[in-house]
Amino acid sequence: MRVCRQAALLIVFVVAILAGSAGARASAIFTFVQSGGDVVGTLSGSLNLFGATGFATPSYGPTIIPSLAYINASPTPCCSNVGTEYQGVTGPSSFGSNVVDNATATGSGPFEVGSGILIVPAGYTNGAALDNTLTLVGTFQSLGITPGQYVFTLPGATDGTVTVNFDATAMPEPASGLVLAAAFGLLGLARRAGKSASSAP
């Protein structure tokens, strides 16, 4: 029983470390899924833009341009919401074809990524939660979007990574999955060892 308790404590410890490290990374994730007749994207996570230099810029209305790998999830039309623009963003040159302008967005402020730029709300505080949503009328196929994962990075920032998932299925990170599998494996071995010890004369 003592061995089993120790193994269980080990699992709790490992899970706590993984949860803490996931929060420390502070990356932003934009996940798009099919919801009825719409494709809906939800932005979560946060960014740490320390080390990068931005400037004030007007934010344009919500749209997505797969042929340019550009996403605009700003909740207001052109120029009515000022954001901070960062240039030099690296990432894919496209994630499909077509231009989609039948989009609606919600959120606390402007958010754009792609075509070499990243725009966040003016006065954005590093580590603050991002909460934009972008709704597109249609399907991935009709919108000309190629499902998959696309990563944008702002060089110089402490953590300026935005991961865009189109129709992605949530899966544990490889490292996290391996550590958890090892922890549960240890628990199984501990149980077997406990049974062997209890059955010994």
How confident is the model over 8-32, as pLDDT tens digits? 444 434 334 334 433 334 599 999 9
Residue 101: inside a domain? yes
Closest by CA position to 21, among listed 170, 184, 186, 175 = 175
The separation between CA 60 and the C-alpha centre of its own chain, rounded to angstroms, equals 22
pLDDT at 5: 52
pLDDT band at 171 (very low <50, low <70, confident <90, very high): very low
Across the chain, the runs of DSSP E, i.e. the strands, are 28-35, 38-45, 55-58, 63-65, 70-72, 82-87, 103-106, 112-114, 117-121, 133-137, 148-153, 161-166
Amino acid at 171: M
Kindly state whether residue 10 falls inside one of the protein's structural domains. no
Residue 85 inside a domain? The answer is yes
Note if the pTM is more than 0.85. no
Segments forming the whole domain that contains residue 81: 49-167
On whether residue 58 sits in a domain, the answer given is: yes
Total of domains in the chain: 1
Check residue 2 and give its pLDDT: 52
